[in-house]
């Protein structure tokens, strides 16, 4: 054990060559004359050169609308788009590319399920189970459905140490439960939920499960067949890919049952004013021109992390999170929320000699002046903030390019701010 802790104290180079390390050009930037320490990866990750190059190449050499042209460029763009779908399929180990829907991100993926599953499979009085640690994007779509269909939302609480209360969860199922929608990893607490067990529990009640994997896909291997989830959503920009692209995975038997989400080009079979038929999967859910440029960028990003290895990334970030936790806990007045260690650390800090927390916005703003980018606020998880009895936190969230030096800079920055109060 001592050996383990000792090894954690050894310098930890980043997986990509350190701050400013070659692959991520933006990390060489100076902010207010200081080297950028980017610790807001839970919000979005920076992009490796290979992703930037792929996007540039698409616009320089390929650009044409997909699935619509007989001409050379359209065929090439279509091939790259469909190859990207295959890359995503392999990355999450889906059975078939028909189960991979490109969306704008996690938010759109969850809204798609809420709208279409709600339309096809839920009636007034039916219930969906969510948890107290959900991001707003896995709360509000169900509330919109509630307005339309008068469904009920049942909420699994968390324990004081920031885990799902698995004693309460089984009691929330009723004959009216139609779906369980749950985050894999909390974007505030860093809690990794035992989703495989939760899915098995839900399936024992005949209830399908949607997993919000926005904060897990960037940090660990996610295998939809091993999990046996029915739906899974994630965003490209949180896994080193471009903005504007995300994924909805759905088991084919569910996607077949659901109606289209939006109407328009490409999602149709035949259109007449009398009767319109719909396209096959996955195109039934991809109305209009998709962001094929971003899809290609996402595929390159997924190849990039696969090349490093998701296991290696998880191990590295675990070590970095442990180091960060140990260092932060040594700061007087530090209060960390959620079970450690994790690459997502939310905290508040009491002022010197004071019991009250320094406002998270003040702390974040002053850290920014030192070149340290952290997130402040409620992190789109207001119900969780209510449960914790706070308005917000400061969140440091790590990625594969962060280093021990970044942690040291954060700790030194917090120390400096604390002395100012």
Closer CB to ligand PLP, residue 62 or residue 130?
130
**Under a CB-based contact definition with an 8 Å cutoff, are residues 156 and 180 in contact?**
no
* Residue 393 binding ligand PLP, by CB under 6 A: no
The nearest distance, CB 17 to ligand PLP, in angstroms, is 27
Residues 388, 392, 393, 398: what is their CA dihedral angle, to the nearest 10 degrees? 100
Tokens 């990509």: give the residue. Answer: 16
Q: Which residues pair with 278 in a beta bridge?
A: 268
Of these, 215, 348, 376, 402, which contacts ligand PLP (CB under 6 A)? 215
Question: Residue 329: how many CB atoms within 10 A of its CB?
Answer: 12
* Residue 16 binding ligand PLP, by CB under 6 A: no
Closer CB to ligand PLP, residue 379 or residue 418?
379
* Residue 395 binding ligand PLP, by CB under 6 A: no
Please count the residues of this chain forming the interface with ligand PLP, following the rule CB under 6 A. 11
Closest CA to 109 of 245, 247, 288: 247
Interactions with ligand PLP, residue window 78-117 (CB under 6 A):
105-107
The nearest distance, CB 392 to ligand PLP, in angstroms, is 14
**Under a CB-based contact definition with an 8 Å cutoff, are residues 132 and 387 in contact?**
yes
Residues in CB range of 388: below 8 A, 6 or more apart: 337
Of these, 137, 177, 322, 376, which contacts ligand PLP (CB under 6 A)? 137
The nearest distance, CB 235 to ligand PLP, in angstroms, is 3
Of these, 16, 23, 187, 393, which contacts ligand PLP (CB under 6 A)? 187
- CA distances (Å), origin 261, targets 81, 181, 267, 283, 318: 21, 18, 10, 11, 38
The nearest distance, CB 193 to ligand PLP, in angstroms, is 11
The nearest distance, CB 123 to ligand PLP, in angstroms, is 27
* Residue 135 binding ligand PLP, by CB under 6 A: yes
The nearest distance, CB 223 to ligand PLP, in angstroms, is 19
- CA distances (Å), origin 292, targets 59, 62, 63, 98, 266: 11, 11, 9, 17, 13
Closer CB to ligand PLP, residue 250 or residue 333?
250
* Residue 242 binding ligand PLP, by CB under 6 A: no
Q: Does residue 65 sit in helix, strand or coil?
A: coil
Read off the tokens for 25. Answer: 């050009």
Q: Apex CA 209: angle with CA 205 and CA 215, to 5°?
A: 145
Please state the length of the chain.
421
* Residue 235 binding ligand PLP, by CB under 6 A: yes
Q: How far apart are CA 135 and CA 32, in angstroms?
A: 32
Known catalytic residue: 380?
yes
Closer CB to ligand PLP, residue 210 or residue 409?
210
Residue numbers of the site for ligand PLP (CB under 6 A)? Answer: 105-107, 135, 137, 183, 187, 212, 214-215, 235
Residues assigned a catalytic role: 380
């Amino acid at each position: 054990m001592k050996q383990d802790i000792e090894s954690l104290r050894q310098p930890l180079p980043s997986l990509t060559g350190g701050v400013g390390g070659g692959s991520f050009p933006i990390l060489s930037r100076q902010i207010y004359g200081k080297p950028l320490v980017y610790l807001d990866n839970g919000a979005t990750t920076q992009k490796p050169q290979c992703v930037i190059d792929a996007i540039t190449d698409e616009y320089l050499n390929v650009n044409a609308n997909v699935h619509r042209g007989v001409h050379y460029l359209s065929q090439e763009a279509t091939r790259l788009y469909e190859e990207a779908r295959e890359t995503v399929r392999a990355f999450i180990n889906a059975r078939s590319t028909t189960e991979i829907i490109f969306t704008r991100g996690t938010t759109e993926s969850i809204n798609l399920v809420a709208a279409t599953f709600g339309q096809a499979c839920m009636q007034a009085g039916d219930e969906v189970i969510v948890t107290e640690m959900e991001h707003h994007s896995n709360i509000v779509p169900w509330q919109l459905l509630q307005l339309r269909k008068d469904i009920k939302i049942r909420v699994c609480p968390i324990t004081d140490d920031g885990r799902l209360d698995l004693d309460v969860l089984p009691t929330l199922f009723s004959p009216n439960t139609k779906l369980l929608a749950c985050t894999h990893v909390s974007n505030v607490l860093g809690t990794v939920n035992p989703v495989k067990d939760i899915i098995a529990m839900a399936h024992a009640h005949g209830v399908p499960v949607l997993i919000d994997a926005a904060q897990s896909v960037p940090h660990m291997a996610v295998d939809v067949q091993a999990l046996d989830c029915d739906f899974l959503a994630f965003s490209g920009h949180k896994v080193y890919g471009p903005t504007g692209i995300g994924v909805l995975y759905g088991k084919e038997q569910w996607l077949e049952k659901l109606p289209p989400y939006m109407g328009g080009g490409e999602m149709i079979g035949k259109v007449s004013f009398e009767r319109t038929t719909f396209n096959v999967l996955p195109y039934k859910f991809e109305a209009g021109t998709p962001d094929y440029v971003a899809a290609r960028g996402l595929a390159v990003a997924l190849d990039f992390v696969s090349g490093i290895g998701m296991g290696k990334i998880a191990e590295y970030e675990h070590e970095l999170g442990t180091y960060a936790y140990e260092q932060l806990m040594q700061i007087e007045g530090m209060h960390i929320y959620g079970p450690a260690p994790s690459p997502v650390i939310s905290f508040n800090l009491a002022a010197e000699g004071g019991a009250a927390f320094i406002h998270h916005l003040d702390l974040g703003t002053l850290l920014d002046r030192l070149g340290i980018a952290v997130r402040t606020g409620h992190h789109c998880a207001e119900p969780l903030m209510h449960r914790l009895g706070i308005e917000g936190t400061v969140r440091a969230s790590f990625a594969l390019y962060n280093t021990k030096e970044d942690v040291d800079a954060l700790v030194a920055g917090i120390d400096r701010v604390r002395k100012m109060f």
